[in-house]
Structure 1
């Protein structure tokens, strides 16, 4: 449909029109300053606008990807309540994923260290927690196409272990520095069935 075309608003449909993109995530906090500093550091981003109760943070062409709002009376995060499990940010290569990991680890103000490194199969992922305890995933796709990733998710290996295989990020950094093939490093090592780790305690 051309940009100026008017859709048929009265046409029946069995399905809602899909969004063009996911624009941003808004998090409620009791510590706006600390959370703002964390997300600027974590994302290598910048603040578009902030005041005493709001902060808008971007790291790309969007005016904001993370918004923070300080609400009086906000209680600490409960790991037992329903809600958002994590926010995921994608990188275009394993080298970029690990370079961002190293940058966070060596920040001059404070180190931001991961709580979990796991190859899920479709992605190689490094998880962090923000100061309020919200989980953040940084990831790279392990397959060149969505179709290949979907095919892997239909295998008996994934059915047996949909969680993945843990890895040491420093070992992957060392392997890349030795010139090992990124595609081989992203191939999941199969370990059989496993339980989900206790992320609340990490």
Structure 2
């Protein structure tokens, strides 16, 4: 299939999706779709192709997190713009996971293999990625705390406790020295992860419950 045909199909589907969004949802919803479309083009298509630039690759890839949050927010009838700190937290959380993914790729594929698979990894070292991952985990927690303090949802601070456990556990899993990369399936089957996810969910609903009765 030629590039012209692919380009025409891309435009057709994009216009169709935006048109349906405008017909059934709000203008902010459509603008969020446009933002997602632009982010995808900047990430994948030359001359920008941010996926090939160190650090900008995971920054631009994880911008999908807050954009998708906005799409969900407006699809359920949200009228005002959501709290910016909540979006920043979700963005930092996505970057944390994307950096962890790149560390795993670099370790599993080796220097040459990872560079061939993902060009951005040619010009970045594993220690730099580890430092980025740790910094983003801490930054994400700071956004949660800042959100709770700004909007005086003090019970939401409870939610940050299991999240902190998740960040540091994931950082440890990704960065521990092993002869062979631990497959994602192994991580998902790890009982400790199940415990952490249960605690995150439980503490989230506990914070909502306490917030309801604290007013």
- Which one has the bigger strand percentage? 1
- Which one has the bigger helix percentage? 2
Question: Structure 1 length as normaliser, TM-score?
Answer: 0.30
Question: Structure 2 length as normaliser, TM-score?
Answer: 0.29
